[in-house]
């Protein structure tokens, strides 16, 4: 099988024939994740929240975030249909894996890797609210604030980023690139195509 990921040096990669460079390194991400975990620990003191990770992209952020939460918490996952192999949102969302936990009366914290148009998050929030939780909040590592099409309340945001395609730290390009510990952005000249 031909390799899709080529690591050139510390800062640049080629993924599926397109060039990306580091926009946030692992240290920067981990520092922010620690801050979010500390905030959540304070805000949910005495509440035992259930974190709902959005598969597949949020698995890495969720794992790191949970390790920084210093109160009782639980975890479950939901899975939605994704972009497929494309770099722009199809706008079509489907639920592929349902939550196993009973959310009635619970404090739900949805954990997402990135909010782009907001359509996925709106869809997830509708599912959450239909199960009568006590509260629902959202934590997202990244928010593409210029791409928002529907308004959703984002309670904790790691970084606000421009409308650029990013990979790494759980985020993929055609299912590859998730294993990169840093976050990469498509080089600007590549975006013209």
Rule CB under 6 A: which residues touch ligand IMP?
Answer: 54, 57, 82-83, 89, 112-121, 165-167, 171
Closer residue to ligand IMP in complex, CB, 29/120:
120
Q: Least distance in Å: CB of 180 to ligand IMP?
A: 12
Instruction: Tell me the C-alpha distance between 47 and 49, whole Å.
Output: 6
Residue 146: in which H helix or E strand, if any? none
DSSP assignment of 13-43 equals EEETTEEEEEEE-HHHHHHHHHHHHHHHHHH
Instruction: Tell me the C-alpha distance between 33 and 6, whole Å.
Output: 27
Q: Taking a C-beta distance cutoff of 8 angstroms, is the pair 118, 150 a contact?
A: yes
Closer residue to ligand IMP in complex, CB, 44/118:
118
Closer residue to ligand IMP in complex, CB, 107/144:
144
Q: Least distance in Å: CB of 110 to ligand IMP?
A: 11
Catalytic residue among 72, 100, 102, 116: 116
Q: Least distance in Å: CB of 171 to ligand IMP?
A: 4
Answer yes or no: 116 catalytic: yes
Instruction: Tell me the C-alpha distance between 167 and 154, whole Å.
Output: 21
Active site residues: 116
């Amino acid at each position: 099988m031909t390799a899709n990921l080529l690591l050139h040096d510390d800062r640049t990669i080629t993924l599926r024939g397109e060039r990306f460079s580091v926009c946030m390194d692992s240290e920067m991400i981990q520092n922010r994740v620690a801050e979010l975990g500390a905030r959540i620990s304070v805000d949910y003191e005495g509440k035992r929240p259930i974190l709902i990770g959005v598969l597949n992209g949020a698995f890495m952020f969720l794992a790191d975030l949970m390790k920084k939460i210093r109160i009782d918490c639980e975890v479950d996952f939901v899975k939605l249909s994704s972009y497929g192999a494309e770099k722009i949102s199809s706008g079509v969302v489907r639920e592929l894996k349902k939550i196993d936990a009973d959310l009635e009366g619970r404090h739900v914290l949805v954990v997402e890797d990135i909010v782009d148009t907001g359509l996925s998050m709106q869809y997830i929030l509708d599912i959450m609210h239909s199960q009568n939780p006590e509260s629902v909040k959202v934590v997202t590592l990244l928010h593409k604030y210029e791409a928002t099409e529907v308004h959703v309340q984002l309670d904790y945001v790691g970084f606000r980023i421009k409308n650029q395609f990013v990979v790494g730290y759980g985020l993929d390009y055609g299912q590859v690139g998730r294993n990169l510990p840093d976050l990469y952005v498509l080089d600007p000249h590549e975006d013209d195509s």
